[in-house]
Amino acid sequence: MSDCLFCKIVASEIPATIVHETATTLAFRDINPHAPVHVLVIPKEHYEDAAALAEAGLAGDVLIAAAAVAAQEGIVESGYRVIFNTGPDAGRTVFHAHAHVLGGTGLSLRLG
């Protein structure tokens, strides 16, 4: 999509601090981090949300890349979160499926 911020990052039209790349995914640092490690992992092709990503069979690629980012960033032992924001109440601002990899500190929200 020509107006999608993340598609422009994939096309190298907008700079990003890339930390990991595969044939189908790209991972880069969030410009407004909420943790010491806050990396976004996106599919290189445009998918609207996590459900569309799963239907295309690429959710596994994004999760594998997220795990590789966590290992590379040294947060596997201390723990990390992988979050997909989907839907109007989730606070999503870019409508290109993406996972947030968060870690490097105690994360205060307890989900279970």
Q: What distance in Å separates the CA atoms of residue 34 and residue 39, rounded to the nearest whole number?
A: 10
Domain architecture of the chain: domains with CATH: 5-103 (3.30.428.10)
**Cβ contact 38:106 at 8 Å:** no
> What SS3 class is residue 84?
strand
Q: What angle do CA 55, 59, 61 make, to 5 degrees?
A: 130
Q: What is the pTM of this model?
A: 0.93
Catalytic residues: 98
Q: What is the pLDDT along the chain (112 residues), one digit of tens a residue?
A: 679 999 999 999 999 999 999 999 999 999 999 999 999 999 999 999 999 999 999 999 999 999 999 999 999 999 999 999 987 788 888 999 999 999 998 877 655 4
